[in-house]
Amino acid sequence: MKDLNVQSMNEQARAILRGNDRGGYTIPTAGLYPYQWNWDSAFAAFGFAQFDVERAWLELETLFSGQWDNGMVPHILYHQQDDGYFPGPEAWGTNGRVPSSGITQPPVAATFARKTFEQDPELGAVKMQGLYARLLEWHRWFMEWRAESGAVCVIHPWESGRDNATDWDKALANVDPGGIEPYERKDTSHVDASMRPTKYDYDRYMAIVKFGRDNGWDEAVIRDAGPFRVADPTLSFILLRAHRDLRWLADQLGKDTAELDQWIARLEKGVELLWNAEIGSYDSRDLRTGEFSGSITSASFLCWYGGVDDARMLVPLNRVLEESTYAIPSLDPANAQFNARRYWRGPIWAVVNTLIGLGLEETGHGEQAAKIRKDCRDLIGRNGFAEYFNPEDGSAAGGDAFSWTAAVWLAWIAREG
């Protein structure tokens, strides 16, 4: 954009991160999301690292203050009560150090710890002395409890960060919502319901939560009898990348890397489970039935971010980039379920586009990465730091003054080159 004032946009982005800072952790946005979300928080650290490295490390340290004894890092930490959000801590029935949910989220933290380390290696070496073991324990938990198929699975759509993606439709249809307690959603009081998951989805989300709570969040019971278990490109490629970055950090700290090397090799082979030859793309796969979802989503294009330079994926990538007005929508526009307004069923998310763009850059696909960056610059420059964007007209959608959109603007989108 010729008339885009990058300096002014940078100032706005920094102000959003500062404004959403709650004293050691960053909320995604006021009202709609009043707590600390796992991958949102790590993205915030990525943004803070561009202008306040100490604050970036504090973000990651606060996130890991809620780590469970088994190594899991929850997807929500409820540092203080807020009646404007559902489900609150009482819905989960957990008993960790910090009130929390009972599930996790995509593990981008090691990657952004590396990015923060690279900003100031001397400080990073100090900060990672306390953080390294915690990151390793979380990665080990993933490999023990989510990677039995070789790929990495989710036990709840919320674990993927892509709550209502079409990936989960078939598996959710097999979840019985009978017996859930009455509940009152709060999200639709902040955002138009047409932009959010449906009641059908929410009933099944809460049924899965109930199963986990009723079984004390016992991972073995959840693995063997849980109502939802789907191998996911999001978690598989993000954890593979995170393993590589944690290995890099281990090298800087003089740590043994044998375990990480084994995990990397295991996931490199495991992601082959996600190749859906019928659609020519990586795809989610229900581990209970063996069925693919049949969807090409933005998560399918995270292969390059995970270090898997698969030439087969250039075919759907180039088609989607050509057919889409802006960057990469969350769902292939050719899919019959495409919805330009509804959350992860079509809208463009700058954060996922940033991960895709980073991966493409690093594997030599600079032309596609440049297209994604330019489109995201245009979207944010014209419509502000929204949660996500309508892929047809570029309009803002979801929450506003959003931390992770501000963060990726500072860290990648606004950057030249």
- Residues annotated as part of the active site: 163, 387
What is the SS3 string spanning 318-364?
Answer: HHHHHHCCCCCCCECCCCCCCCCCCCCCCCECHHHHHHHHHHHHHCC
Cα-Cα end-to-end distance for the chain: 15
CB atoms within 10 A of CB 182: 5
- Cα distances (angstroms) measured from residue 328 to each of 132, 354, 355, 369, 375: 33, 10, 11, 11, 9
395: closest CA among 404, 411, 384? 384
Alpha carbon 143 to its chain's center: 18
Tokens for 64, please give them: 């890991």
In 3D, which of 133, 88, 91 has the Cα closest to residue 110?
133
* Distance between CA atoms of residues 219 and 52, nearest Å: 38
CB 384 within 8 A of CB 396: yes
